[in-house]
A = this chain, B = another copy of it.
C-alpha cells in the first residue's frame, strides 16, 4: 500500500451501486444545467461526482443515456412536487391553482433541475424528445383530470369534455414556456406568474362555457 493513495481527499471506495448512481446523477444535473448539454464534459462530471469516468459508463452509459437519466429523474421529482401540492379535498379551481403554484415553486427552487429538464432537453434535438414526451403525457393527464372537475363545477356539459384534453395540453405547454421565460425574468414574483397562467386557463375554460372574450371586430377581420 503506497503513500500515494493518501494524497488526495480520499474518495470513498466501494459504495453500493445505488449510492454511486445518485452521486453521478447529482453531478450530471449540476454540470449539464451549468454548461449545457454539449459544453458539459464527461471529465467535469466525473470530477464533480468524485467518480472515475469508467464508472459513469458502467453505471449510466454514454453521454446521451446519462442525460436521459437526468431528465427522467428530475421529471419524477417535478411530478411528485406538483402532486403533493394538490389537496384532494379542495374545490377544483383551488386544486388547479395549488398545482400551478407547486409547479412554479419547483421551478424557482430547483432552477438547475428545470434547466436540464426543459431548456436543455428542448434545445437538443431528437434523442431526448421521448423522455420529454413521456413526462408531458403524465403531466397532461394530471391536469386534465383537474380541468374536467373544474369545468363541471362551472356548468360545462358532457359534450365538451374532450376539449379539456386539448386545453390541458395547452396549459402544460404554456406552463413550460412561461416557466422557461420566467427563468430570464426572475424579478417577476412567482405568484404573479402563476396567476397569469391561471387566468389564461380560466379564460380558456370560459371560452368553452360561454365564449365571452375579445374577438376581432367582424368587419375588420379580413380572414
Residues of A bordering B, CB below 8 Å: 34-39, 90-91, 93-94, 97, 101, 119-120, 122-125, 169-170, 173-174, 176-178, 180-181, 184-185, 188, 191, 195-196, 198-200, 202-204, 213-217, 220, 223
Q: Please, how many angstroms separate the alpha-carbon atoms of A223 and B38 in the complex?
A: 40
B170 pairs with A188, CB closer than 8 A: yes
Q: A39-B38, A178-B177 are in contact. Are A94 and B213 (CB under 8 A)?
A: no
* A214 in complex: contacting residue of B93, B119, B216, CB < 8 Å: B93
| A170: chain B residues within 8 A (beta carbon) | 185, 188, 196
A195 pairs with B213, CB closer than 8 A: yes
| A36: chain B residues within 8 A (beta carbon) | 38, 123-125
Task: Quickly give the copy total for this chain.
Answer: 4
B200 pairs with A185, CB closer than 8 A: no
Other than the given A94-B216, A123-B123, 10 more pairs (CB < 8 A) read: A34-B125, A36-B124, A94-B220, A174-B196, A176-B181, A191-B223, A195-B215, A198-B214, A199-B200, A200-B203
**Can you show 8 pairs from A to B with CB atoms below 8 A apart?**
A36-B124, A93-B214, A97-B216, A173-B181, A196-B204, A199-B203, A202-B213, A202-B214
